[in-house]
Structure formats: structure tokens, C-alpha cells
Amino acid sequence: MFIDNKILPVLVIHDQKKAIDLAKCLYDSGIRNIEIALRTNASKKSIEKIVNSEIPLNIGIGTILSLDDLIFAKDVGANFGLSPSTDTQIIEKSIDLNFDFIPGISTPTDISNVIRYGINKLKFFPAENLGGIDYLNRINGPFKHLGLKYVVLGGINLDNFMKYAESDNIFAIGGSWIAEKRLIDNNDWKEISRRAKVFLELSV
């Protein structure tokens, strides 16, 4: 599902006119996987532009909270989707659509609910607020024999990144720190590229 590296920039795009420049900046910096959040009025148009561009990114749609969001992600041609929760309706529909979907978990009960559907890739969010890698290791303990893998998001930065990067349980590390709103607003592609490269070097 993920290509080349563990880094997953989460993009909250407020101006669709910046979508292609942002995507190209990230790809040219070595980023291969992105999550575009459905949180703004410009998000769907931005997604359509990036999906239909010639930039070969592995595109995920985030903050999937409804069946409509899920169907949009599938129909637009995204590669995968993510949710902060374990909504069983959305999970069941993703299976019907044969769409790669990563539900969000925060407790052992959440994990139990998800693995019933044969899903083995989960989103751990908000990672740091819940207790970080130590907490994740504890709640994953009873399920360790299943080989579950996690994408972690929420409060991860340069100070705590390596704790997650060194874990065999984690296949992706996400966050908005690479392409913050301020940097996108200011067309600061140079700083976005610098940040991307810093995290890519750490993840090797």
C-alpha cells in the first residue's frame, strides 16, 4: 500500500490553485505517499487535480467520516483512505468497494472490532495524546501474533519521530509538520522541501 518510505505528509489544502505546486514540491523532494484531508472547501477539487496530474504519488484520502466520503475517495481514483474511527458501516462499504481502507483505533476494543473484518492495517490516532509508542505497544500486545501494522499520526515531530520510525509495528508516520498551512499559504516550497528531506533522511 505504501511506496518507498514511511513518511506520510498530511495535506490540508485551502486553495486548490496551490495543489499541483505542492504535490510536485513533495514528489521532487522524495515523498511518495500523501494524505489529503477532507477538511476544507478546496479539498475535493485539490484531490481531483492531483489524482489527474502526471505526478505519480500514492494518494490517500483522510478524515473519511461518512459513506459519501468513502465513495468519493474510491470514485476519484485515490489509492487508499483513512479514518479516525472504526465506523463499521464505512468498513463494510470499503470491503464492498474493494477499496484499501485504514480505520482509526485507540483502544484494544477498537482493534478487536476491526480485525473481525480481516483488516490488518490500522491508524493509531492521536498518537502522542494517547500515550505514544509505549501505549501502542501495550494495546497491540494481545494481538501481536496477528502481525498488525499501524500508521501513526498526531503530535509526532522531530523530537519523537525516531521512537516510531524504529518500531517494526509501524509502516507509516503521518503529520502536517512537513507542509503546514503557513508554508503553503506563503508558497514556501523551499522550506516544505527541506522538512520533507529531513524526515526522509531520518526514516532511512
- In order of 64, 87, 95, 189, the CA distances from 45 in angstroms are 16, 25, 26, 20
Beta strand pairing status for 33-37 and 58-62?
parallel
Residue 102 belongs to some domain of the structure: yes
pLDDT band at 154 (very low <50, low <70, confident <90, very high): very high
Question: Over the range 37-76, which residues count as b (16 or more CB within 10 Å of their CB) and which as e?
Answer: bbebebbbebbebbbeeebebbbbbbbbeeeebbebbbeb
Question: Is the Cα torsion angle 181, 1, 152, 37 positive or negative in sign?
Answer: positive
| CATH of residue 31 | 3.20.20.70
This prediction's pTM: 0.95
The reported pLDDT for the residue numbered 196 is: 97
Residue 187, pLDDT above cutoff 90: yes
- Residue numbers of the domain that contains 71: 7-203
Residue 16 belongs to some domain of the structure: yes
* Number of domains observed in the structure of the chain: 1
Residue 184, pLDDT above cutoff 80: yes
Percent of the chain scoring above 70 in pLDDT: 100
Residue 24 belongs to some domain of the structure: yes
Residue 30 belongs to some domain of the structure: yes
Amino acid at 69: D
Residue 1, pLDDT above cutoff 80: no
Q: pLDDT for 76-106, tens place per residue?
A: 999 999 999 999 999 999 999 999 999 999 9
- Which residue is listed with cell 482493534? 111
Percent of the chain scoring above 90 in pLDDT: 96
Residue 100 belongs to some domain of the structure: yes
Amino acid at 29: S
Give the sheet arrangement for strand 170-175, strand by strand. Answer: 101-102, 80-82, 58-62, 33-37, 7-11, 170-175, 149-152, 121-124, 104-105
The reported pLDDT for the residue numbered 3 is: 81
Count CA within 13 A, CB hemisphere, residue 23.
26
Residue 2 belongs to some domain of the structure: no
Residue 1 belongs to some domain of the structure: no
The answer to whether the CB of 192 falls within 8 A of the CB of 29 is yes
Closest CA to 22 of 86, 13, 30: 13
Residue 168 belongs to some domain of the structure: yes
Q: pLDDT for 7-62, tens place per residue?
A: 999 999 999 999 999 999 999 999 999 999 999 999 999 999 999 999 999 999 99
The reported pLDDT for the residue numbered 204 is: 67
- Give the DSSP letter of residue 149: E
Mean pLDDT, the chain, integer = 96
